[in-house]
Structure 1
Amino acid sequence: MTSRLKSYKRKRLGLATVIAFCALCFLIGFYSSALLSQNVPGVRPRLRMLEMMKNGEVEEEEASSMPHGVTGDESVGSIPFQVLSWKPRALYFPNFATAEQCQAIIERAKVNLKPSALALRQGETAESTQGTRTSSGTFVSASEESTGALEFVEKKIARATMIPRTHGEVVWFSTPHPI
């Protein structure tokens, strides 16, 4: 029996042959799956919620709300947006806040605007650095703003970003010219 095994010589496949065979199998599988899946009845891609709302195709069961937790929302919502850039990430939210809400927040911020300060180095005085900073700014929290406009905007930001308000920061308002 050992003599039989010695006489059998196995042919070795080269690396190029193996790679070509794998590529051929991949291409056959790829194109055959594409051909077979073209005529599947009843299968259609799901539309995103925003697209469905634009087209008016929102089905009753999809639009109905689910039971929610303490921190959840009572109803299904949609905040329309446009991606302006991925790097750096910039999004545009049309009609995110009304003009009245924006004006109320601006008026509240103007009350506390102060010229920006500098960290003085050793030997520097406030007089020698006067005019270096030309901006003014202030922090405003939603609890300080009496109209509720800033709280509304913070809640909407939390819904859009899916980050709780408790993880946010106090809003910094800045103007490029001194007050």
Structure 2
Amino acid sequence: MKAKSVKRNWSAKTNTLSFSSVFLICIFFFLGGFFCSTLIFHSQEEENDIRPRPMTRLLEKSAKEETKYNLLPAGESGDDFITSIPFQVLSWRPRALYFPNFASSEQCKRMINLSKGRLRPSGLKLRKGETKESTKGIRTSSGVFITASEDETGVLDAIEEKIARVSKIPRSNVEAFNILRYELGQRYVSHYDAFDPAEHGPQESQRMATFLVYLTDVPEGGETMFPYENGLNMDGSYNFEDCIGLRVRPRKGDGILFYSLFPNGTIDPTSLHGSCPVIKGTKWVATKWIRNEDQGRPSII
């Protein structure tokens, strides 16, 4: 009986010691954690005045880290480096991509200076039955066609090469730059860049895509508009003049790429687009039309 009694007493003591030990350990870690967090908080307050959010720290850390790529051997026409050109998908109908800061301020200034003194009223490729008089007021900008070879500074060459990289279409398929100026009230009503053979006759090649580089900011008006974006306004009531649908405000240096043709070569009806009237300021834009066939020499349509 004595033996059993001793055994029970020893077990009770062990349980008591075990509970006390766990309690003391918990208190120790709690105080240690509180002390460390207080030190970190005060340290961050001294450096930044406010405590950065965890997400901010994570983003800052990832931005500083350099990613290393194990590149493959490039072909004769390829590159042995990574090209990073940020873009945003504006729309899938039509397929439109937006490229912020595509051209520098100096490049924009150079393209404007190249065209000054050479501007002429912008023309149209007339459809069957149309005349210059009947189409008056549709396109009221002034412009000039300039090839990259005409620019001794190499700015147009660099921009043309960059457009080829983002569009993945060879430079041999592009037309010359059409640098345009839209002054107060000037516009281009909604139209297609691709030419419908039923309206314009047989085409040797088609304008499959268009790249716009905005050369100036426009305080008000002058947006590039896509009234049929996502299939809207296609019930026959649209008058081709209203600035509705997807609208992109011109910002100096930014670019837009949109495709006029589907992959099967037919015209995308949602690629209808126009330039809203300028309300304040002056709009300068460099247009690069991209064809589905090698051009040999730039078109001046």
1:139 counterpart letter in structure 2: F
Q: 1:69 to 1:100 in 2, by over 3 A?
A: same
d(CA) in 2 for partners of 1:134, 1:83: 30
More helix by share: 1
**Are 2:123 and 1:110 aligned?**
no
d(CA) in 2 for partners of 1:134, 1:80: 33
Matches within 5 A, 1:26-45: none
Report the counterpart of residue 172 of structure 1 in structure 2. 178
1:98 counterpart letter in structure 2: S
More strand by share: 2
d(CA) in 2 for partners of 1:113, 1:90: 28
**Are 2:105 and 1:99 aligned?**
yes
Higher relative contact order (CA 8 A, sep 6+): 2
Report the counterpart of residue 18 of structure 1 in structure 2. none
Q: Give 5+ residue unaligned stretches, structure 2.
A: 1-61, 187-301
1:103 counterpart letter in structure 2: K
1:140 counterpart letter in structure 2: I
Q: 2:169 aligns with which of 155, 163, 170?
A: 163
Q: Give 5+ residue unaligned stretches, structure 1.
A: 1-52
The count of corresponding residues between Structure 1 and Structure 2 is: 118
Q: 1:88 to 1:143 in 2, by over 3 A?
A: same
Q: 1:69 aligns with which of 61, 67, 75?
A: 75
d(CA) in 2 for partners of 1:148, 1:109: 15
TM-score (norm 2): 0.34
Query: Contact (CA 8 Å) 2:146, 2:176: kept in 1 or not?
Result: yes
The alignment partner of 1:79 has SS state of coil
**Are 2:86 and 1:80 aligned?**
yes
1:159 counterpart letter in structure 2: R
Report the counterpart of residue 150 of structure 2 in structure 1. 144
Query: Contact (CA 8 Å) 2:111, 2:179: kept in 1 or not?
Result: no
Query: Contact (CA 8 Å) 1:64, 1:75: kept in 2 or not?
Result: no
Report the counterpart of residue 23 of structure 1 in structure 2. none
d(CA) in 2 for partners of 1:163, 1:146: 24
Please report the RMSD computed on the Cα atoms of aligned residues, expressed in angstroms.
3.0
Q: How far 1:76 sits from its partner (Å)?
A: 1.8
1:152 counterpart letter in structure 2: A
1:163 counterpart letter in structure 2: I
Q: How far 1:67 sits from its partner (Å)?
A: 1.7
Q: How far 1:174 sits from its partner (Å)?
A: 2.0
TM-score (norm 1): 0.54
Which runs of 4 or more aligned residues in structure 1 lie more than 4 Å from their structure 2 counterparts after TM superposition? 53-57
